[in-house]
């Protein structure tokens, strides 16, 4: 019987111990390769992966769950429509690809009850860890979940988190870059388009960007010009609120949008209302999404590198799964990307 035939007849009985014996290594060594653990040599990885391929080994997730490990990561999104999220997911998958971990995605639709239910389901399915993107839950609720499963939260500004990790862009600095870009180009009447307060607003990126906008306006001597316009979360009220903002007789000459998601919509409505961009209204968004870079959109934006945040969050989660206990609050630096919607040259 050939090796191929023997593999086919024994495939269902292949276990991690079978792989270890075939490779001539310990079960622990095979486990480290499967987990893409730090410190595994290329030679060991190649040896184990060759045996896995020869034997046709496919790890049983049920068995892993009974042992406390399934090599699955739960990825919880708040709003799948946001063009920023695919960049984060790409970063997560980029780290997981060389390993045997896989991401399972849930979408909470920014609803706290659904968010809670999804996290509970991910725990019930014995996932090894969770990455929460802009969760709406209070810190104490996330902390209770973190007692059961390793958690990293992206876009969640809680400096007092003790048993879960946070990964953020410096959102106040991002807002400051936007305001400074306007000021450098001669704008003084600078407004901000933001989301209305809701669950989780205290630790949200939205609040941080509002704080950065306000502080930078004050530092520039433009306290009297501070103008924060909150829009509803749901459509069509969201678009109606943007139209009302653009229809104001005292509409600002420049506006910083909390996200490209709404900045692009604002640009579209402005064109429909015959408002010229950037001559009548200069606009800066946040996220530097692929949409912002399209020639017909040409939206100036703050780049927080969603992919880099996804990479950092995943590496941080894997290190916690490996046994790290001390909480980390990691912050990355944003960058300003100038495009046509900004208008005027600096100086």
Structural domain boundaries in the chain: 3-58, 69-168+306-332, 171-304+336-342
Residue 123 makes CB contacts below 8 A (sequence gap 6+) with: 145, 148, 149
Which CATH number describes the domain made up of 69-168+306-332? 3.40.50.2300
pLDDT in tens, the chain (347 residues): 344 444 433 445 688 888 899 999 988 888 778 766 657 888 888 898 898 888 888 665 444 444 457 889 999 998 778 888 999 999 999 999 888 889 999 988 767 888 999 999 999 888 999 999 999 899 999 999 999 999 999 999 998 899 999 999 999 999 999 999 999 999 999 999 999 876 667 899 999 999 999 999 999 999 999 999 999 988 789 999 999 999 999 999 999 999 999 999 999 999 999 999 999 999 999 999 999 999 999 999 999 999 999 999 999 999 999 889 999 999 999 999 999 999 866 55
- The CA-based diameter of the chain, rounded to the nearest angstrom, is 85
* Residues written for the chain: 347
Report CA torsion sign: 110, 159, 105, 309. positive
Distance (Å, whole) CA 126 – CA 131: 14
3-state secondary structure string, 164-199?
Answer: CEEEEECHHHHHHHHHHHHHHCCCCCEEEEEECCCC
| Extended strands (E) in the chain | 72-77, 102-107, 129-133, 151-154, 165-169, 190-195, 228-231, 254-257, 282-286, 300-303, 329-332, 335-337
* Whole-model pTM over 0.85: no
69-168+306-332 shares the fold of 3-58:
no
Residue-wise burial string across 99-121, b where 16 or more C-beta atoms lie within 10 A, e elsewhere: bebebeebbbebebeebbebbee
Phi, psi of 255, deg, nearest 5: -140, 135
Q: Before 27, cis peptide (omega within 30)?
A: no
Which CATH number describes the domain made up of 3-58? 1.10.260.40
The CA R_g of the chain, rounded to the nearest whole Å, is 24
Question: Residue 203 burial by CB count (10 A; 0-12/13-18/19+): exposed, middle or buried?
Answer: buried
Task: DSSP letter for 332, please.
Answer: E
CATH T-level topology, domain 171-304+336-342: Rossmann fold (3.40.50)
């Amino acid at each position: 019987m050939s090796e191929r035939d023997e593999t086919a007849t024994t495939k269902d009985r292949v276990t991690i111990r079978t792989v270890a014996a075939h490779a001539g290594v310990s079960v622990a060594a095979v486990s480290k390769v499967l987990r893409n653990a730090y410190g595994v040599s290329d030679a060991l990885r190649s040896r184990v992966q060759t045996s896995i391929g020869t034997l046709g080994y496919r790890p049983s997730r049920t068995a892993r769950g009974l042992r406390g490990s399934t090599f699955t990561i739960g990825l919880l999104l708040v709003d799948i429509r946001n063009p920023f999220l695919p960049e984060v997911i790409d970063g997560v998958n980029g780290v997981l690809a060389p390993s045997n971990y896989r991401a399972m995605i849930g979408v909470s639709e920014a609803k706290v009850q659904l968010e809670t239910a999804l996290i509970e389901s991910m725990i019930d399915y014995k996932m090894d860890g969770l990455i929460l993107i802009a969760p709406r839950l209070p810190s104490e609720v996330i902390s209770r979940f973190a007692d059961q499963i390793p958690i990293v939260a992206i876009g969640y500004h809680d400096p007092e988190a003790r048993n879960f990790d946070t990964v953020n862009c410096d959102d106040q600095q991002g807002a400051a870059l936007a305001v400074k870009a306007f000021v450098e180009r001669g704008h003084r009447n600078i407004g901000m388009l933001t989301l209305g307060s809701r669950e989780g607003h205290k630790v949200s990126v939205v609040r941080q960007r509002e704080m950065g906008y306000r502080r930078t306006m004050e530092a520039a001597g433009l306290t009297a010009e501070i103008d924060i316009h909150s829009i509803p979360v749901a459509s069509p009220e969201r678009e109606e609120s943007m139209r009302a903002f653009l229809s104001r007789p005292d509409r600002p000459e420049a506006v910083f949008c909390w996200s490209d998601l709404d900045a692009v919509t604002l640009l579209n409505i402005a064109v429909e209302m015959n408002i010229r961009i950037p001559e009548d209204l200069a606009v800066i968004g946040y996220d530097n999404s692929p949409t912002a870079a399209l020639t017909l959109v040409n939206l100036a934006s703050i780049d927080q590198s969603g992919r880099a945040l996804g990479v950092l969050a995943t590496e941080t989660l894997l290190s916690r799964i490996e046994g790290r206990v001390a909480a980390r609050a990691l912050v990355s630096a944003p960058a300003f990307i100038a495009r046509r919607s900004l208008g005027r040259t600096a100086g």
